[in-house]
Amino acid sequence: QVQLVESGGGSVQGGGSLRLSCAASGYTVGTSCMGWFRQAPGKEREGVATISSSSYEGTTYAASVKGRFTISQDNAKNTLYLQMNYLKPEDTAMYYCAADPRSGRYCWTRPYNYWGQGTQVTVSS
């Protein structure tokens, strides 16, 4: 049974930083696609960053967060992270961690089959 548990969300002023964590159980981080996604009220869910087990594919970021956010993983802790710097009010959303054990390719576009419950990030101006 795959379980993903996010933590680290909160309220921060614009320009601040947060680090989100996604602790996995029943699944080994680093063996396939994982990603962070977010959904703001009244908007569709969107991709934020993904990471592949394939060194060829590596990491992918949404244009809106590139240069500000960094996705990483700690295999020893079986945890995925999202370091978010220079936060903006438009980053306010529920952030979700996702994993797809079926493949380590095409991580940005594939339909993820395991999701966490989400952690709220609120950025004030």
pLDDT in tens, 12-66: 999 999 999 999 999 999 999 999 999 999 999 999 999 999 989 999 999 999 9
DSSP assignment string, the chain: --EEEEE--EEEETT--EEEEEEEESS-TTSSEEEEEEE-TTS--EEEEEE-SSTTT-EEE-TTTTTTEEEEEETTTTEEEEEE-S--GGG-EEEEEEEETT-SSSTTTS---EE---EEEEEE-
Q: Is the pLDDT of residue 113 over 90?
A: yes
Residues 105-119 have a mean pLDDT of 97
Residues 113-118 have a mean pLDDT of 98
pLDDT of residue 55: 87
Residues 76-103 have a mean pLDDT of 97
Residues 91-118 have a mean pLDDT of 97
Residues 7-14 have a mean pLDDT of 98
Q: What is the mean pLDDT of the chain?
A: 97
